[in-house]
Chains A and B, each alone.
Chain A
Amino acid sequence: GDSVTQMEGPVTLSEEAFLTINCTYTATGYPSLFWYVQYPGEGLQLLLKATKADDKGSNKGFEATYRKETTSFHLEKGSVQVSDSAVYFCALSERGGSYIPTFGRGTSLIVHP
């Protein structure tokens, strides 16, 4: 079955540091890939997505590239801010099906001033 593996958190960084959160996946087909973010006290919201190999999703300074050869979709940001502190979830959704996403366990990011 499909699965998503994320690096364990928490990830603790100082403001303006470079961020990488690793995500790898296992899928039977050719999935679409997502990063969702959950800010404290709020619901999940889509951060970015990529639907085919070599696509780069980007939003709010975050980027992730769909790497089919390494089955990865690592999240990066060049300079994090305190306001980026949240839990980040990597997810995949198989095309041709009902698009029900399979989520990773989430990685907590804490950014200190």
Chain B
Amino acid sequence: GAGVSQTPSNKVTEKGKYVELRCDPISGHTALYWYRQSLGQGPEFLIYFQGTGAADDSGLPNDRFFAVRPEGSVSTLKIQRTERGDSAVYLCASSLTGAGRVHEQFFGPGTRLTVL
């Protein structure tokens, strides 16, 4: 009955390193979204999964960013060769889906990534 959870809550890494951020959505939610929120900005869309497949990855800034959701539940956002500009809070959200209806997205608390 828990909400969306994200781990770790904080991640500090060095420039050039690889990081993985994990999201556990609400059970039964088939849609999963990743966002990035920079300081003083609203969440910026990265990628959206419907089940196991990435239905829309148009928000990924470049090919250093990749996300998977192999079993249609947990998702991992992967960032290669991190840069200082990647520092932000990475948010995950999940929702039910249904054709022709707008479903509320439930957000996790986010992972604060700091690249030194």
Residues of A within 8 A of B (CB): 4, 32, 42-46, 49, 51, 89, 91, 93, 95, 98-106
> Using a Cβ cutoff of 8 Å, how many contacts connect chains A and B?
51
A102 to B41, CA, bound (A): 12
The verdict on A99 contacting B41 (CB below 8 Å), with A43-B109, A44-B107 known, is no
Q: Is B48 a contact partner of A98 (Cβ separation < 8 A)? A: yes
**Tally of B interface residues using CB under 8 Å:** 26
Contacts of A103 in B (CB 8 A): 42-44
Shortest C-beta distance, A2 to chain B (Å), equals 11
The verdict on A98 contacting B56 (CB below 8 Å), with A103-B42, A105-B41 known, is yes
A43 to B3, CA, bound (A): 10
- Of A46, A93, A100, which contacts B56 at CB under 8 A? A100
The verdict on A106 contacting B41 (CB below 8 Å), with A43-B91, A43-B110, A98-B56 known, is yes
Q: Is A100 a contact partner of B42 (Cβ separation < 8 A)? A: no
Contacts of A91 in B (CB 8 A): 42
B104 at the interface (CB under 8 A from A): yes
CB 8 Å contact bits of B1-38 with A (1 = contact, 0 = none): 00110000000000000000000000000000100000
| Nearest 9 Cβ contacts at the A-B interface | A103-B42, A44-B107, A43-B107, A43-B109, A32-B102, A46-B104, A103-B43, A105-B42, A100-B45
Shortest C-beta distance, A105 to chain B (Å), equals 5
A13 to B66, CA, bound (A): 43
Q: Is B48 a contact partner of A100 (Cβ separation < 8 A)? A: yes
16 additional contacts (CB under 8 A) given A43-B108, A106-B41: A43-B91, A43-B110, A45-B106, A49-B104, A51-B102, A95-B100, A95-B102, A98-B48, A98-B50, A98-B55, A99-B95, A100-B33, A100-B45, A103-B42, A103-B43, A105-B41
**Smallest CB-CB separation from A31: which chain B residue?**
B102
Shortest C-beta distance, A95 to chain B (Å), equals 7
